[in-house]
Structure 1
Amino acid sequence: MSVWRWTEHFDAVVSPAHRVSLGEGGTPCVRSRSIGPSLGMEKVYFKVESSNPTGSYKDRFAAVAVGRMLETGCDTCVATSSGNTGAALAAYCAIAGLRCRLAVVETAPAGKLRQMLAYGAEVTRVRGFGLDPAVTQAVFSRLVEMGRMPRQVLQISAYTHSPEGMQGVESVGMELTEVGPWDAVFCPAGAGGLTLAVARGLERMGATRTAVHCVQPEGNATIVTPLRDGERRAQTVTCTTRISGLQVPTVMDGDAVIQACRKSGGNGFAVSDIQVMEMQRRLAREEGIFAEPAGAVALAGLQQALARGEIDPAARVVCLVTGSGFKDLDSIEVMTADAPCPLVELAEWEG
């Protein structure tokens, strides 16, 4: 099982000899046993992207992006990441024998940094990157210059920078059609590439009646605020959210996301970090799904849609769980801070 089973639907050309894979894709789509019914919905499902090889949906991107690098004779991947893209690219560059140079956001969790380093990537954290719009834009500009050097390619998981690699992410939407139909899909968003890819993947497969909803943290509402307000263009913001992976204060794919969501009948939802952390806890405690905070954002968006009366409780809905809890162990420490774990003598243990 890999994203390459969808290659006939990709515009990116990668010959069989250059198709790298770690078995990405084909992730479970499981029905909610507790949270959905507690919200008054019996048909809520989770697409568990955290089960991908490096722990996030970004493996779909990396497989096609690195495959295209091999196809075109490039030997160095230059990229930026808040963590998951970097880990995925580092892993796929490792199996392809390519050099991987990563500039990561200042607040990248230690777990993600260690994962990138373990795969052999060259990693540099940049102060202010992912928080300050000016610094973030300057980093992107520098990376664009680096990507123009001979045999180097810039890989950023956004259509504005890496449209070929993003076709791998469209396989999320394609897979959803195999277990559909769906009334709605809720997607977490930083720069919005995943939301756009899901919309395009669904459309490629003819699933045009599924509303694609974009969900962002309140502290990085570059897309969802203008989407909800009827605007056509995304907005640059000063990022204040602590949700790793969604700290992208620049526009990136935002304008196209707004258009795609509106076309599908979807809307935008801004959720608080507190709401996200609560849904992360509930996913673990009630559904057995170990997610990083970003992986709980879509579910928080569904909860808000219900509270607003903007989703039919009878609807068949899927929420994307995008990354594993192992990616952000600091958030797990917060979640379990009050959980007892005593060390006792054998004689004292009440087994």
Structure 2
Amino acid sequence: MPPESLRCKECRTEYPLDARYVCEQCFGPLEVAYASRADADPDSLKRRIQAGPYSLWRYSDFLPVAPPKQALQAGFTPLLRADRLAEQLGLGELWIKNDAANPTHSFKDRVVSIALARARELGFQTIACASTGNLANAVAAHAAAVGLESYVFIPHDLEEQKILATGIYGTNLVAVRGNYDDVNRLCTELSAEHEWAFVNINMRPYYAEGSKTLAFEIAEQLNFELPDRIVAPIASGSLFTKIARGFDEWIEAGLLSGQTPVFNGAQADGCSPVATAFRDGQDFCRPVKPNTIAKSLAIGNPADGPYAVELANRSGGGVDSVTDDEIKAGIRLLAETTGIFTETAGGVTTATLAKLAARGDIDPEERVVIVITGEGLKTLDAVRGTFEAHEIEPKFSAFEDSVLSGAAA
């Protein structure tokens, strides 16, 4: 079903489907509005989905742009049963949605796919973004794949691995002396002066729609059934809330039966405005200055924070935060029990899952899905010093005496 308009999430004023992101009446955020799907034929929709490409474009009936002829193919990442992790945490049915399997190894390939496709439809020749790292990788790669110029703005102290994995695509890489919120303010000013498609500013309504495809894939991979609970990281809050919207759209279309799953959000203690608002019973988020190893979640003034709090309350879930030490332990726990090496954001999510399990918040009969949004090779410094390697002479006796005897001790 094609989109009808852009609509303000606050006052419901509608606008054309062009490059804009804020309401002129109340300054609320805009999102893509579609016609009601209540009268859709679920069987026809399901057949079209299952006959579609093995990418997020199989869900084009629920997206605001037609599939492009040339693009990196994002989406349709693995949903993996995590029995060993579940057993260790005392849980029942646990699944991992591993979005590190995308082209640039994070979920940002989804949102960039949609934003870039719409930008090209609108005639833009230059793509840009403000990024904490993963988005920088994705924008640079996707722009290179279709031959568009790109500008990527990042905090100056970003992880080296993410900087290298961005610059290699030939983008215009700009390191700004400041944190992400400083970078975002600069890019907002630039978007008013340059005819560029900033994927997470003037293209944000389309960009955000890409996150819905995580919900579509999870449901399809569960044989068109809903999970009971989703545990996902929160940075701006867009991913968290759009996954819920994806489930709701499929419920409305008759593809799923039931109600919105319980949603638990995960933040780092060093940047937890949403978790703090939830804990304090507030419907707004006080901006904070980030100080955490989870740089991909380090957004101190989250645009969709209030909506994330509302979703957590409405679904019967919550928003928790974890320390940097717990993040490192979460990375290792996931790796040792599943073979998945995640970046710091995934450590936040896994550590939050462990906290929920320890508190007894999750019923053993629940079907739980945790969303892993990025690859561990992007944040290698976070795991430095968390394990030891045996260094020995090239002798049988050295191995027996130093390694095996230590393991048996």
Distance (Å, rounded) in 1 between the aligned partners of 2:209 and 2:134: 17
Residue 150 of structure 1: CA displacement? 4.8
The residue aligned with 1:92 is 142
Q: State the match for 1:133 in structure 2.
A: none
In the TM superposition, 1:1-351 aligns within 5 A as 1-10=54-63, 12-14=64-66, 16=67, 18-130=68-180, 136=181, 138-156=182-200, 162-178=204-220, 179=222, 180-206=225-251, 208-336=259-387, 338-340=388-390, 342=391, 344-345=393-394
Q: Is the 8 A contact 2:155 2:183 kept in 1?
A: no
Query: Is the contact between residue 222 and residue 237 of structure 1 (CA under 8 Å) also seen in structure 2?
Result: yes
Count of residue pairs brought into register by the alignment: 338
Change (3 A) 1:153 1:33: same
* Cα distance in structure 1, aligned partners of 2:124 and 2:194: 8
Relative to structure 1, the CA distance from residue 161 to residue 305 in structure 2 (aligned partners, 3 Å threshold; closer, same or farther) is farther
8 Å CA contact 1:20, 1:66 repeated in 2: no
TM-superposed deviation, 1:265: 2.2
Residue 119 of structure 1 aligns to a residue whose secondary structure is: coil
Q: Which has the higher contact order (CA 8 A, sep 6+)?
A: 1
SS at structure 1 position matched to 2:270 = helix
Kept in 1, the 8 Å contact 2:271–2:292? The answer is: yes
Q: Please list the CA deviations of residues 80-102 of structure 1 after superposition, one character each: whole Å capped at 9, or x if unmatched.
A: 11110010111100011111111
The aligned residue for residue 405 of structure 2 is none
The AA in structure 1 aligned to 2:292 is T
Structure 1 residues 148 and 20 mapped into 2: Cα distance closer, same or farther (>3 Å)? farther
Q: State the partner residue of 2:22.
A: none
Deviation string, structure 1 residues 112-164 (Cα, Å, up to 9, x no partner): 1001101111112222213xxxxx2x4323212322345311122x8x96110
- Which secondary structure does the structure 1 equivalent of 2:297 belong to? coil
Question: In 2, are the aligned partners of 1:2 and 1:22 still within 8 Å (CA)?
Answer: no
Q: TM-score, normalised by structure 2?
A: 0.78
Q: 1: distance between equivalents of 2:290 and 2:151?
A: 25
Residue aligning to 2:33: none
Aligned equivalents of 1:148 and 1:4: distance in 2?
31
CA drift of 1:257 comes to 1.4
The 3-state SS of whatever aligns with 1:62 is helix
1:53, distance to aligned residue in structure 2 (A): 0.9
Conserved in 2, the CA contact under 8 Å of 1:4 and 1:19?
no
Q: Partners of 1:26 and 1:335 in 2: how far apart?
A: 32
Q: Which runs of 5+ in 2 are unaligned?
A: 1-53, 252-257, 401-409
Question: 1:175 is aligned with what amino acid?
Answer: E
SS in 2 for 1:36: helix
Distance in 1 between residues matched to 2:138 and 2:98, nearest whole Å? 16
TM (norm. structure 1) is 0.90
- For residues 296 and 144 of structure 2, the distance between their equivalents in structure 1, rounded to whole angstroms, comes to 22
2:337 partner letter? E
Deviation, 1:19, is 5.0
Tell me, yes or no, if the aligned pair for 2:89 and 2:358 is still in contact at 8 Å: no
CA contact (8 A) 2:156 2:175 kept: yes
